[in-house]
Structure 1
Amino acid sequence: MKILFLAAEIAPFVKVGGLADVAGSLPLALAELGHDVRLAMPRYYVVDPNKWGLRKIIESLDVPIGIGTTSIQVLEGELPNDNPNARVPVYFIQNQHHFERDKVYGYADDGDRFAVYCRGVMIMLKSLDWRPDVIHANDWHTALCINYLKTIYRDDPFFAGVKSVFTIHNLAYQGVLSPYWLGQAGLSHLGLVWGDRDGMVNIMGRGIAYADAVSTVSPTYASEILTPQYGEGLDWLLNYRWGHLWGILNGIDYNIFNPSTDPYLISHYTAKTVENREDNKTELQARLGLPVDPNIPIIGMVSRLADQKGFDLVASSAERILEKGVQLIVLGTGEYGYHEFLYWLSHRFNSQVRAILGFHADIAPKIYAGSDMFLMPSRFEPCGLGQLIAMRYGSIPVVRHTGGLVDTVQEYYPDSGVGNGFSFGSYEPVHLLAAIDRALAVYHQPNLWQDLIRKNMQRDYSWTSSAQQYLNFYRQELGLS
């Protein structure tokens, strides 16, 4: 198959969230299975052409925006990869006005910016004379490509037979804009369409409505978003598309997330040498200025600081968690109120709490390898990668029973040995605390705990299985071979 994979962020070039990890890993896994996979993303200011060896392959293309045009250039690079038989080109849409900024998202003109990106991708494909079998768009920033494919380019012979897939990574972010914006995108002649709602343009809704097939990032989340509780106002549309909606669990790149080779760890280990893991725990404690004692249980969190991730629940439970004699280490950035709370908590409980507010690539793996438990009390979680990475590194997940956390973490029962972590359902402090208590009870039985670590480290959450499911998805839903 010839697959064009679209995402607003792709690791390692630029990363805001888990979407970047998926966009940097799934295409490689598909390429390793023998398919021609290419990516396209904006060339942001932080993407250094010299660092990534980008070369300009198109000097200038005019892209309509509003009543005029803007000029884009196209640069080409590759996803870093050790497999010479799985080359994955990446096309970067360059436009100084729209993309050379400090942030990826969060600007008042994001609608215009991603319209230029999406229209630019369609024009670029014709210029390169490369026609994909499927355009695989991810989240609202790329959904206009599917909208354009089924409207402006519907009768264009070049795009005849091109299929489309839209993947929802987080339904909460929809790209809701004024109807007046349609003129900017060149779509005013169509007016509002059935993917829109409440008199506003809904770009996420358009992706769902126009795509030949829709997927999301875990089976449970695919079921949850059909309900008013999780559907974010689009449950009616998703129910309409239910027959073409799949839930395919994300994976993680086992070459990157590998405790036997991770360059940031002081001591490497495998499921057969779990005893070496303890050196990483004491090194983490020493580095962060916590009391160094391998017997003190460490609860780690690497997360965006937001209500969605359960930080309101953490805030209301924190002091009672710390009464259990644990150390709590949090790495992340997000809502200002949670920054303030974690500053206060780390000063109030200086011997137990450390908050690293920002993203530090060298510290995240140290937390995965040095913590005993990994906490994810999410209000909702489409898939979640943190729990998969934690298990890979031997940190036992304590999670809320929602979304992809349901599909990857099952309650551990010491008597039977069934399960791989600890979970709770009701979004209340008492249930979070009870799950931590169950985890601590097993932690204090070292033989059981070590067996649980080994079992989790041997689980396979690599992209190989997920990539095969996506191929089945393309074949069954799009008729591709």
Structure 2
Amino acid sequence: MEKKRILYVSQEITPYLPESPISKLSQDLPTLMNEAGHEVRIFMPRFGCINERRHQLHEVIRLSGMNLIVNDMDQPLIIKVASIPTSRIQVYFIDNEEYFKRKATLTDDKGDLFADNDERSLFFCRGVLETVKKLGWKPDVIHAHGWMTSMLPIYLKKNFADDPIFEDSKLVYSLYNNEFSGSLSEDMAKKIKLNEGEKCVETISTPDFMNLNKIAIEHSDAVTVGTEGVSEDLKAHATDRGLPLLDVVSDEERSQAYQEFYQEILVEESVA
């Protein structure tokens, strides 16, 4: 596989958050691709429980300062950066006082989802795309991990598809068995503000775990399975649409399997 630019977007990555199937794979994959000679960037939310001093985060003034409108409110976008110690890969953090200052990730101390997780997801996904534009860094592949990134595919396809930075980018979405009970705010579909109106977001009229993953699949170019135990319905949602699907692979096979998978979707586009 020729050298490519690969953008990883994840809701959690080690060592900044505790190890989990998502956070581990979200560090392992970029590390493997970096070792294989590809150019890699990573984005994640700057949750308030991340220790900035320990991990040496610092603000990137030239990338900060933009305001994103979410639910008719201006929300300042702050960008911070650090490097993974073992690989020196740059990690960009999407930050905002309203959404990410609290000392928790997605649930409160009772285990309940935060009421504004819908807006946090929208802000995060838009913030990633706006920041990559500002960087002027054109990714060949964008690989999203975790349901908090589920709005990234639809934003890319509906609001950023004609942007020169993203016009050739292919979107890969990873499925995990990190299901939550209940749903995000039922107003989420109205808050997305797509260029094509709301019909394409009918899937998340009830934004529960399954529907968030389904809408991500519907606007992705390919799907991978990050862990065992992922819903067969979600896998079928991808294959029924003719999307390439890479199931769980072993640690030993991961580098080659993912490089071949990325190459497959990039070649399909060039042939088409």
TM-score by length of 1: 0.49
Looking at structure 1, the residues matched to 242 and 183 of structure 2 have their Cα atoms a distance apart, in angstroms, of 22
Deviations 1:423-448 (A, max 9, x none): xxxxxxxxxxxxxxxxxxxxxxxxxx
Contact 1:66 1:186 in 2 (8 A): no
From 178, 181, 187, the counterpart of 2:188: 181
From 150, 157, 162, the counterpart of 1:150: 157
- Corresponding residue for residue 30 of structure 1: 33
- Corresponding residue for residue 348 of structure 1: none
Deviations 1:258-293 (A, max 9, x none): xxxxxxxxxxxxxxxxxxxxxxxxxxxxxxxxxxxx
- Corresponding residue for residue 217 of structure 2: 208
Please give the secondary structure, in 2, of the residue aligned with 1:87: coil
Deviations 1:68-114 (A, max 9, x none): 32101111111121xxxx53110011111101112211211111111
Answer with 1 or 2: which has the greater Rg.
Answer: 1
Q: Which amino acid aligns with 1:24?
A: Q
For residues 9-408 of structure 1, the aligned pairs below 5 Å read: 9-15=12-18, 17-57=20-60, 58-81=63-86, 86-106=87-107, 107-170=114-177, 172-173=179-180, 176-177=183-184, 180-187=187-194, 190-193=197-200, 196=203, 199-201=205-207, 202-217=211-226, 225-226=231-232, 231=233, 234=234, 237-241=237-241, 243-249=243-249, 251=251
Looking at structure 2, the residues matched to 174 and 30 of structure 1 have their Cα atoms a distance apart, in angstroms, of 34
- CA 1:88–1:14: 2 relative to 1, 3 Å: same
Q: Structure 1 unaligned runs (5+)?
A: 252-460
- CA 1:49–1:133: 2 relative to 1, 3 Å: same
Please give the secondary structure, in 2, of the residue aligned with 1:101: coil
Contact 1:77 1:91 in 2 (8 A): yes
Looking at structure 1, the residues matched to 182 and 223 of structure 2 have their Cα atoms a distance apart, in angstroms, of 17
Looking at structure 2, the residues matched to 7 and 196 of structure 1 have their Cα atoms a distance apart, in angstroms, of 22
Looking at structure 1, the residues matched to 67 and 174 of structure 2 have their Cα atoms a distance apart, in angstroms, of 28
Looking at structure 2, the residues matched to 129 and 250 of structure 1 have their Cα atoms a distance apart, in angstroms, of 34
For residues 372-451 of structure 1, the aligned pairs below 5 Å read: none
- CA 1:243–1:132: 2 relative to 1, 3 Å: closer
Structure 1 residue 174, shift from structure 2 partner:
9.1
Contact 1:146 1:207 in 2 (8 A): yes
Structure 1 residue 189, shift from structure 2 partner:
5.1
- CA 1:55–1:163: 2 relative to 1, 3 Å: same
Please give the secondary structure, in 1, of the residue aligned with 2:165: helix
Deviations 1:347-392 (A, max 9, x none): xxxxxxxxxxxxxxxxxxxxxxxxxxxxxxxxxxxxxxxxxxxxxx
Higher relative contact order (CA 8 A, sep 6+): 2
Q: Which amino acid aligns with 2:237?
A: L
Q: Which amino acid aligns with 1:103?
A: A
Structure 1 residue 136, shift from structure 2 partner:
0.3
Two-structure CA RMSD over aligned residues (Å): 2.6
Please give the secondary structure, in 2, of the residue aligned with 1:20: helix
Structure 1 residue 177, shift from structure 2 partner:
4.1
Q: Which amino acid aligns with 1:237?
A: H
Structure 1 residue 52, shift from structure 2 partner:
1.2
Contact 2:117 2:184 in 1 (8 A): no
Percent of aligned pairs with the same amino acid: 28
Looking at structure 2, the residues matched to 469 and 176 of structure 1 have their Cα atoms a distance apart, in angstroms, of 34
Contact 1:135 1:162 in 2 (8 A): yes
Looking at structure 1, the residues matched to 133 and 56 of structure 2 have their Cα atoms a distance apart, in angstroms, of 24
Please give the secondary structure, in 1, of the residue aligned with 2:159: coil
Looking at structure 2, the residues matched to 122 and 175 of structure 1 have their Cα atoms a distance apart, in angstroms, of 28
Looking at structure 1, the residues matched to 19 and 85 of structure 2 have their Cα atoms a distance apart, in angstroms, of 19
Structure 1 residue 171, shift from structure 2 partner:
6.5
Q: Structure 2 unaligned runs (5+)?
A: 108-113
Looking at structure 2, the residues matched to 157 and 150 of structure 1 have their Cα atoms a distance apart, in angstroms, of 13
- Corresponding residue for residue 472 of structure 1: 260
- CA 1:60–1:13: 2 relative to 1, 3 Å: same
Looking at structure 1, the residues matched to 202 and 145 of structure 2 have their Cα atoms a distance apart, in angstroms, of 16
Contact 1:79 1:90 in 2 (8 A): yes
Looking at structure 2, the residues matched to 141 and 205 of structure 1 have their Cα atoms a distance apart, in angstroms, of 13
- CA 1:59–1:139: 2 relative to 1, 3 Å: closer
Structure 1 residue 116, shift from structure 2 partner:
0.6
Contact 1:179 1:191 in 2 (8 A): no
Structure 1 residue 181, shift from structure 2 partner:
1.8
Q: Which amino acid aligns with 2:213?
A: M
Structure 1 residue 173, shift from structure 2 partner:
4.5
**Alignment: residue pair count:** 255
Looking at structure 2, the residues matched to 150 and 45 of structure 1 have their Cα atoms a distance apart, in angstroms, of 30
Structure 1 residue 243, shift from structure 2 partner:
4.6
Contact 2:150 2:212 in 1 (8 A): yes
Contact 1:141 1:175 in 2 (8 A): no
- Corresponding residue for residue 347 of structure 1: none
Looking at structure 1, the residues matched to 220 and 182 of structure 2 have their Cα atoms a distance apart, in angstroms, of 16
